[in-house]
Structure 1
Amino acid sequence: MDWDSYRGCWQNSIPGEDVEPEEGEESPGLPPITITDLASFSPAKGTILGEPDNLGVAGLPTNFVTEAETHVRSGELFGFPIDVRFTPVSYTFHYGDGESDTTSSPGSSWESLGQAQFTPTDTSHTYTDRGTYDARVDIAYTAEIDLGVGWFPIDGRLDIPGPTQQIRIFEAHTALVAHTCAELPSAPGC
């Protein structure tokens, strides 16, 4: 990016005062901006939700979704007003059992996909054992800045870890029976 063509717009000067820099002297301007300079603008953290209701069944898929959108933060950087636009580009789902998956999708609910509960999705995970797991989603953002003259991309990306969410996984046991418990009190499950 050619920042030099925009630096003149952001020189420190007093209105009405036309001060020319002396020969060989550079006028003060905006220093180079890196992706790490923009971390202080705090892009949104992703909150993970396991369907249904942060519960699951061992051996069946638990669906994970997060909400992340392009958003703008405003503030000052190096003494200049600036807007920073963060765009989510990837999501790393950490399931809490040592497994993780990186995807370009924040996930979708079973309802919005038109799927039945406990069916696989692009962001679902199947736990093998019952227990409580600390799951989270880390979101990678790209950034653009606006100094009042339009949006300019900044090289790199910011990886923002999300807070953990406890996911409780239960075991389910089923049995086929020929009689109700009232008819045969010694039947399985009675």
Structure 2
Amino acid sequence: MAAVIVSLTLAAPLPPESNTRFDGKVSDQNLRIDAERSEDLARRNVAVPPELRLFNYERAPLCREAAGRWTMGSTDGTCPAPANRAGVVQECEDGDTIVMPMWRQSRATPADAWSDWQQIDSGGCGVDLLPVLTEADFRRLPLPAPTLTMQPDRGWVLINIETITYTDPTPITLRTDLLGYGITVEATPTRWTYDYGDGHTLTTTSPGHTYPDHDVFHEYEHPGTATITLTAEWTGRYQIDGNPTWRDINGTATTTATTNPFTIEERTSRLVSDLCTDTPKPPDC
């Protein structure tokens, strides 16, 4: 498997909620969003100087006091006695960790006092809080052009004779960065489209093979000049440093390669009285 290391930072646009108040109505219950969203807001909030922040974020357990009142526990995961820890009621995959609920306190301006802590998500599993490598991110990676080989490769081909094409299906590995996380990406070409330059195309999931085991080829019908263009379609999966799970990328990317121009020739055969290799060459050759 080929390996490529690239320094590329893929960052999502800054959400409008960062360092501003949430839009929408707040019911008697605390405002809730999904854990991945709140984790993203908390990460981005760190970039704001503490004296200018309008929000603070902390993960802490949900604690139930003896009187039945629910309150925020300590960031170390404990609840004040005699309260009971409620935490996150769910199961995570083996090797993953349970993430405590996110709490937030806010203020209207940097000069105002901080509000009480409010719970804004229900927590989750560690994998739920990791960033997602999108199709757009995948397409920005430096995927290589596909290998394009033709047989025969001598600057010309014959009409009505098979022109063989094939490529290399080997996956490649790239390293990149996503929102501060190191990412390993494995990209695999899975489908290929050949444009033979004469109005004919062929889409296949076979990388092709050399003669005589070839299964991807084209027969030109008319003399002329052509080039062959190959478009490879890549699928991918990625793994975030520190997490054992491989996740599929939702979408594909494409790269292309083109041969040098070549001529398409028509050759005919005829009987001659002598060998055309004789010297001098016979006049009927």
Shorter-chain TM-score: which interval?
0.7 to 0.9
Distance 1:186 1:145, change over 3 A: closer
The correspondence of residues 5-44 of structure 1 with structure 2, limited to 5 A, is: 12=43, 19-20=58-59, 21-22=103-104, 23-25=118-120, 30-44=130-144
- Contact 1:89-1:139 at 8 Å conserved across structures: yes
Which 5+ residue runs of structure 2 have no aligned equivalent?
1-33, 47-56, 60-102, 105-117, 124-128
Is 1:146 equivalent to 2:216 in the alignment? no
Q: Distance in 2 between matches of 1:64 and 1:136?
A: 11
Q: 2:272 aligns with which of 166, 171, 177?
A: 177
Question: Normalized against structure 2, the TM-score is what?
Answer: 0.52
- Candidates 105, 108, 125, aligned match of 2:209: 108
The equivalent of 2:177 in structure 1 is 76
Deviations 1:113-159 (A, max 9, x none): 2xxxxxxx421101112232121111111110100223111222222
Distance of aligned partners of 1:108 and 1:25 in 2 relative to their CA distance in 1, 3 Å threshold? same
Listed one character per residue, the Cα deviations across residues 82-125 of structure 1 (whole Å, up to 9, x for unaligned) are 111111111111111111101111111115x2xxxxxxx42110
- The 1:162/1:79 distance shift into structure 2, 3 A limit, reads farther
Distance 1:156 1:40 in 2: 13
| Per-residue deviation, 1:172 | 1.4
Structure whose alpha-carbon radius of gyration is higher: 2
Match of 1:117 in 2: none
Deviation at 1:173, TM superposition (A): 1.8
Would you tell me which structure has more strand in proportion to its own residues?
1
Count of residues in correspondence between the two structures: 171
Answer whether contact 2:131 2:178 (CA < 8 A) is retained.
no
Structure 1 residue 60 displacement after superposition: 0.6
Compute the RMSD of aligned alpha carbons: 3.2
1:79 is displaced (CA, Å) by 2.9
Structure number with greater CO (CA < 8 Å, separation at least 6) is 1
Residue segments in structure 1 that go unaligned for 5+ positions in a row: 114-120
SS in 1 for 2:269: coil
